[in-house]
Amino acid sequence: MPDWSRRRLLQLGVGALAATAGCSAATTGDGPSEEYVYVEDPEWESVRAGGTEPVVSHPNERLSEIGYALFVTESTASKLTFRREPDGVEAARSFLEATRFDEETLFVRHDTVRQCYRREPFRLGREPSERVPRPAFCTRLRPPDVSCSKDAEDTAVHLVRLPVGLEDPPNSYGFTDSSDCDRGPTPRGGGDGQ
Amino acid sequence: MTTRRRLLSLAAAAGAASAAGCSLSGDGDDDDPEYDEAAVADVPDREVPTIRKRLPAGVGEEHVEAGLTRARELLDRVPESVPPAEVPNEVVRERIERRRTEVAEDLESAAEPEASLEGLQRGRSAREDAAGVEAMYAVSVSERTLEDVLGRVDPVAREREAVESEFGYGGEGLIETLVTAGTAERYLATAGRILSSPEGRRQDSEVEVTTAAEAGGRIEEAAAYVEDARHIRERFAASHDDPDDFGATFEAALESLRADLAGRCSEYDGRRATPSSLVDASVEDTPAEDVLADQLFSVRADCSRLEEDGDGRLARRLLRVHRAHHDVLALSEARQRVEDGQFRMPADAAAFDNRRARAMDAIESAASAAEHPRLTERLLEAAASRVERGDGARDGRASSGAVETAVREYDTAFVAATTATDATGRFVDGLGPDD
């Protein structure tokens, strides 16, 4: 089990707070250090729906309230239910079903985002002392031809495969938010489902 | 001696006294300065002289007007109100409209073209701002792509090279030719630097519209720099019939002046020199220490640039050497005056007033000098800015900290102004004969 320090817990708290507030400019600290270990070709899938009604739910996880959850077994992940059917939901279901929980873990983030912006995972990495990588999200302005209102919000769900199998979820875990999508290597592929 | 801690406590006392509506007085230590708040606040704000760099042949009003007209034309391509059907993203739409309004207001305030270097600067800024919002709009409505916007880099770069290749050092008057050519070379160097990174420092590089706005503005600014360089060269060339070629003179002068400067730089080489090491007097926690530190910083920057500066632009490099010689001379003057006990905390409001007046007198005296004003005013512009910064630091406050900061600026301005004429004279002597 990794050593989850108080500092790390505080960082995670900030990350979760930023996510809950839907802040586009939220950051946690100065970003990863150079020794950060990045996951090559990370895999993720995202789906976005208009309004703030929950898109997914789980009987044991308050996803739309807490904002994220880790699923370490197929049996718990299979209880995830898509409550709405926006574009891309089939790809998200397939992504969930194709996750191999003996060697992978599923991170799910349930998030509100301002309608004229998109928040997306852009890298996956960990401190050398950690075992479980954390996703980093960044926020971008959507293209000019996307019809959107500056005051409206959408809901987005991001499913990220962590390339590590776990017996139990770690005692604490989280993600980072940034307004700067240029920091660090941008992984190929993945979540353009918004 | 007044220590920094002492000054801080005085500053705190000043704040408390101010809150109580009292005047500040010392606590009995004979070494402490005692300031009457009202007296310090009433130190007359004699207007800081306006020192403006000028060109021998001036700037054409029609050229400045053409720049503003170009900015207006760019802005006219953007509607005041962007229909949602054109740009459905409301955040992008509002950014375009807001920016357009701001640029239009700026342009309106610049309705009267000013035929000066400041007028040129204003025109470049107006063109940059207008082109930025125009590019953002054009990319938003799919009239152009980011690639189209960046496609303008090459033609502007070619134009810059063409203007540069036309450069010689012909003119009437050594100093006049030097100042004109040096200014044009600086403009071309700036254009080259912009064109080498037209997208600037971006926060969200994958948002095409914002990148296009940044790049469109910067490329337009580079184009304006190139046009301004051409204008001032052509205007200067048109001002005389029988130009001399100063190329060889400049080259020889640069070599000898740089060699002389390198010798002076060696005294301040590396990190060994500190304000305290430059004088025998104790300067810790005094305005003198700050004056020496500021001047030492400038000299070091000049000296390190001397080693790196090999871009081949003779006139620009010579003007840098002029400034560097001045900084070295000002540091030497500052050291001498500190040894003589100057640049300490003023004893009272009257002494404080005298320090500002002394700096102003030195600037005005140097500005009125008949010899080579085009060169000397380049040095005095920074000195006048120092006085303004000192006034800003003091603005409405009479604490010891504010007084110390203001005095440092006044004293630095004073040594700069008092050595400017001499620095120019020595520099001109090093240039060689004016024929």
Handedness of CA B297, B301, B302, B306 (dihedral sign): positive
User: Taking CB atoms and an 8 Å limit, are B204 and A143 in contact across chains?
Assistant: no
B233 plus B345 within the same structural domain = no
Sign (positive or negative) of CA dihedral A29, A35, A39, A41: positive
Q: Are residues B189 and B66 both part of a single domain?
A: yes
| Number of structural domains in chain B | 2
Q: What is the pLDDT at residue B50?
A: 85
Distances from the Cα of A112 to the Cαs of A10, A48, A62, A116, A118, in angstroms? 22, 9, 15, 12, 10
Q: Report the alpha-carbon distance of residue B294 to residue B338 in Å, rounded.
A: 14
Nearest CA in chain A to B93: A144
Domain check: are B65 and B172 in the same one? Answer: yes
Residue B190 and residue B89 share a domain: yes
| Bridge partner residues of A81 (DSSP) | A57
Binary contact (A143, B89; C-beta < 8 A): yes
Domain hosting B372: range is 4-54+246-431
The pLDDT tens digits of the residues spanning B108-157 come to 987 677 899 999 999 999 999 999 999 999 999 999 999 999 999 999 99
Cβ neighbours around B198 below 10 Å, total: 21
Smallest Cβ–Cβ distance between B89 and the set A146, A179, A182 belongs to: A146
| Nearest beta carbon to residue B92 from set A141, A149, A182 | A141
Q: What is the pLDDT of residues B13-37, one digit of tens each?
A: 333 333 333 233 333 333 556 677 7
> Which among B238, B263, B288 is the end of a domain?
B238
Same domain, B209 and B270: no
Query: What is the pLDDT tens value at each position of chain A, 194 positions in all?
Result: 333 333 333 333 333 333 333 322 233 344 545 578 899 999 999 999 999 999 999 998 888 888 999 999 999 999 999 999 999 999 999 999 999 999 999 999 999 999 999 999 989 999 888 889 999 999 889 999 999 999 999 999 999 999 999 999 888 888 988 877 765 543 333 333 22
Question: In the prediction, which pLDDT does B344 show?
Answer: 92
CB contact under 8 A, A141 and B209: yes
Measured between beta carbons, which residues in chain A are less than 8 angstroms from residue B211? Answer: none
- In the numeric block, the tokens 């962590």 are attached to A162
* pLDDT over threshold 70, residue B394: yes
Please tell me the pTM assigned to this model: 0.80
Please give the Cα distance from B227 to B188 (Å, whole number): 9
Between helix B208-237 and helix B61-76 the angle, nearest 10°, is: 160
Residue of A nearest to B140 (CA): A144
Residue B401 backbone class (left: φ over 0; alpha: ψ -120 to 50; beta: rest):
alpha
In DSSP terms, which residues pair with B245 in a beta bridge? B170
Residues of chain A contacting B204 with CB distance shorter than 8 Å: 140-141, 179-182
Asked whether the beta carbons of residue A144 and residue B94 sit closer than 8 angstroms, the reply is no
Q: How many other C-beta atoms lie within 10 A of the C-beta of residue B284?
A: 11
- Are B209 and B341 members of one domain? no
Strand pairing report for A43-50 and A68-71? unpaired
Q: How far is CA A193 from CA A90, A148, B173, B319, in A?
A: 11, 17, 68, 58
CA distances from A69 to A110, B82, B197 (A): 9, 42, 42
Chain A CB contacts of B90 under 8 Å are: 116, 148-150
- Contact partners, residue B374, CB within 8 Å, separation at least 6: B53, B54, B55, B56, B175, B176, B179
> Touching check for B140 and chain A: CB below 8 Å?
yes
What percent of chain B is predicted at pLDDT more than 70? 87
Best mutation site among B78, B92, B209 for testing chain A: the one with the most A CBs within 10 Å?
B92
- Beta pairing partners, A68: A109
H helix intervals, B197-240: 208-237
Helix (H) or strand (E) holding A56: strand A56-57
Looking at the structure, do residues B265 and B410 belong to the same domain, yes or no? yes
Q: Is A139 helix (H, G, I), strand (E, B) or coil?
A: strand
**What residues of B are in contact with residue A181 (Cβ under 8 Å)?**
204-206
Cβ distance of B210 and A150 shorter than 8 Å: no
d(CA A20, CA B320): 54
- Residue A143 has φ and ψ, to the nearest 5°, of -60, 155
Is the model's pLDDT at B6 over the cut of 80?
Answer: no
- Based on the fold, state whether residues B95 and B152 are members of the same structural domain: yes
CB B34 within 8 A of CB B26: yes
Last residue of a domain, one of B204, B238, B272: B238
Cβ separation of A181 and B92 shorter than 8 Å? no
Separation CA A27–CA B53 (nearest Å)? 45
Name the closest residue on chain B to residue A148, using Cα atoms.
B89
Q: Do A181 and B91 touch (CB under 8 A)?
A: no
User: B89–A142: do the CB atoms touch at under 8 Å?
Assistant: yes
**The tokens 């307004």 sit on which residue?**
A179
Q: For chain A, what are the domain ranges?
A: 34-178
Query: Which residues lie below 8 Å from residue B81, measured CB to CB, with a gap of 6+?
Result: B97
Among residues A188, A192, A190, A176, which one has the least CA distance to residue A36?
Answer: A176
Nearest to B207 among A141, A145, A150 (CB): A141
* A180 in contact with B, Cβ within 8 Å: yes
- B206 CB within 8 Å of a chain A CB: yes
Angle (CA) A179 A182 A184, round 5°: 115
Out of B187, B215, B238, pick the residue that ends a domain: B238
